[in-house]
Structure 1
Amino acid sequence: MTRFRSTLPQVNGTTLLTDSGLETTLIFHDGLDLPCFAAYPLMETAEGRAVLRDYFQRHLAIASERSAGFLLESPTWRASRDWGAQLGHGPDDLARLNNDAIAMLVDLRDDATGVGPIVISGNIGPRGDGYVADAAMTADEAEDYHAEQIGWFAQSEVDLATAVTLSTVAEGVGVIRAAHRVDLPVVVSFTTETDGRLPDGTPLGRAIEQTDALTDGAAAYFMVNCAHPDHFRPVLDTGTAWLNRIGGVRANASRMSHAELDEAETLDAGDPAELGRDYRDLRQILPNLTVIGGCCGTDHRHIEAMADRCLGHNAA
């Protein structure tokens, strides 16, 4: 396995906005019930598809107002074998729903004006909870599991696959190997606890270094998601080589831990302006940070604040 020579614009220095906390927006702002925290079943109805389209169009409008690029991330975080089984979907259903989700993003890309470039990503979630390393797999087991969804993406119009909220090196390695087998560019995004370590205790920097070592640096880049910047910023040692491999951040609005968020009955949306300033500061630390978006608790207001701090004349 060799390092993927990517032509993705974000790898080559183009800043792309992306969306915010899809599931928390749908639950807390739109009042929807999402069993298993899964958004992909909305693709089954015209009403559900309209909700998703409206969500993405709100975010695309932010990029359009700034003539910026955008990364469209499919609503398929839970659309894999084990989670699908819990929701009553077999492999044929999942293949169809994953494909439909990508087709929706293609339509959104084709209809968008004033936004460019637009990159389409097939979104992959963890096999397990994501916040607890309780379903730890070997790299081979992870490769076998994620190869199915990655295979569906490889037959679609995606530009890359992005696996988010991963909590172990082994799962990241498995995802990368599965994507490499079908020549699909891939990104791995780790989540951290409040101490900047993955849920299994691995320091963030070590996780990135180990994953790169075990895959010959085949990932296009790495990301951090589902953690507030205060949780991982202290471990971003200036001058450390692995910082160059972080190309994206999708932070939480809240400073609460994963355990606290799981128990929360109300949404902690934090302060959008403050989070925007956090991203401005992160761009001073992470030289290759080009993908800017949100995770739990964030919505289009947070993306606007990030854009105001990180794009154009407002970045100063």
Structure 2
Amino acid sequence: MGFSDHPVLIFDGACGTNLQQMTIPDEAWAGCDGCNEVLNLHGPEFIIRLHQSMLDAGAMVLETDTFGASSVVLAEYGLQDRVKEINRRAVELARTAIAGKTGKYVAGSVGPGTKLPSLGHISVADLARSTREQVEALLEAGVDCLMIETCQDLLQTKTAMISVFEVLASAKLELPVLVSVTIEQQGTMLVGSDIAAVIATLEPFDLFSLGLNCATGPQDMASHVRSLSHHWPKRISVIPNQGLPEVVNGETAYPLSPVDFAGQMYNFVTKLGVSIVGGCCGTSPAHIKALCEKLVGAVPGKREVSR
């Protein structure tokens, strides 16, 4: 059974917040504290440990530690010339983790970067160039799919889509492309677009799936997931935080227990036809384990899509 054949695909949990729980020595950061992607080069054992913990929990798809591995983000750490090296190494580490295991896949993670074109932080041309460079490296390293995630700006998202499909066409490759947008608690993307605008803008692209991740927990995503269920014709992904972030004793905390997280996700699958699930910020291997156990035998609910 290939990647596209599974009725429900279960992605892994959080990268950053789980790495924060590890005791990682200073030398592994190589003077780039906060740059998780540099660990692919100088602390690979921690990335493999993270991947293995998610596989042990039952995850089917591992996302590469490349969320911020574009030249735009890496330039903040003086690493802009190491884009290909970091992305290729990240894919190698994920491949090492799933070696010998069947039904496991590697998704190339592409984040939104730290500069949004709609806010004038970066030109469309520069963003496209940076995206193409990262995607080319991920494809050369042999990912099974691309996850363009945490999209906060429709112009950024559309630019990424055009860039991704140009690279795929140039390489004569067909690969599943998944897009995941972030809807803030107020009900829109960071720059103000609602889910209807997202659907209308992205429908012309040959996407494998469209969905939501980050910003909030599953409860605050419910109305947007319903909109996708009724108006998006292809697969839907839902990869929430471990609830809405809270500040407890001066630190960020996430409230949902593994059982509560899994229960809400189960409803998305069985009632709204969601077929790609996983966890974003805060979600631990325990959350993914509970999710996998809850979804044993679950089938995505039937959807009636109006366009």
* TM-score normalised by the chain length of structure 2: 0.83
* Counterpart in the other structure of 1:170: 155
Give the conservation status (yes or no) of the 8 Å contact 1:128–1:135. Answer: no
* Counterpart in the other structure of 1:197: 188
* Counterpart in the other structure of 1:250: 239
Q: Find the aligned partners of 1:220 and 1:167 in 2 and give their Cα distance.
A: 19
Give the conservation status (yes or no) of the 8 Å contact 2:72–2:80. Answer: no
Cα distance change, pair 57–277 in 1 and its aligned pair in 2 (3 A): same
Cα distance change, pair 269–135 in 1 and its aligned pair in 2 (3 A): farther
List structure 1 runs of 4+ shifted beyond 6 angstroms.
none
Task: Select 1:82's aligned residue among 50, 57, 72.
Answer: 72
* Counterpart in the other structure of 1:225: 213
Tell me the alpha carbon deviations over residues 141-198 of structure 1, each in whole angstroms, 9 at most, x when there is no partner: 5433311101111212112211111111211111121121122432211011113321
Task: Select 1:50's aligned residue among 25, 34, 45.
Answer: 45
Q: Compute the displacement of 1:42 (Å).
A: 0.7
Q: Find the aligned partners of 2:213 and 2:129 in 1 and give their Cα distance.
A: 24
Q: Which consecutive unaligned segments of at least 5 residues does structure 1 have?
A: 1-6, 64-68
Q: Compute the displacement of 1:274 (Å).
A: 0.7
Cα distance change, pair 95–264 in 1 and its aligned pair in 2 (3 A): farther
Q: Compute the displacement of 1:138 (Å).
A: 6.6
* TM-score normalised by the chain length of structure 1: 0.80
- Aligned-residue Cα RMSD (Å) equals 3.0
Task: Select 2:111's aligned residue among 107, 125, 128.
Answer: 125
* Counterpart in the other structure of 1:278: 264
Give the conservation status (yes or no) of the 8 Å contact 1:137–1:170. Answer: no
Counterpart of 1:294 in 2: which secondary structure? coil
* Counterpart in the other structure of 1:265: 251
Aligned residue type for 2:93:
M
Number of residue equivalences = 288
Give the conservation status (yes or no) of the 8 Å contact 2:11–2:61. Answer: yes
Q: Find the aligned partners of 2:100 and 2:2 in 1 and give their Cα distance.
A: 21
Give the conservation status (yes or no) of the 8 Å contact 2:147–2:180. Answer: yes
* Counterpart in the other structure of 2:223: 234
Counterpart of 2:291 in 1: which secondary structure? helix
Q: Find the aligned partners of 1:217 and 1:292 in 2 and give their Cα distance.
A: 21
Cα distance change, pair 240–161 in 1 and its aligned pair in 2 (3 A): closer
Give the conservation status (yes or no) of the 8 Å contact 1:236–1:243. Answer: no
Aligned residue type for 2:37:
Y
Q: Which consecutive unaligned segments of at least 5 residues does structure 2 have?
A: 169-174, 301-307
Task: Select 2:146's aligned residue among 161, 171, 194.
Answer: 161
Counterpart of 2:237 in 1: which secondary structure? strand
Q: Compute the displacement of 1:314 (Å).
A: 11
Give the conservation status (yes or no) of the 8 Å contact 1:192–1:199. Answer: yes
Q: Compute the displacement of 1:264 (Å).
A: 5.5
Q: Compute the displacement of 1:290 (Å).
A: 2.5
Q: Find the aligned partners of 1:304 and 1:75 in 2 and give their Cα distance.
A: 20
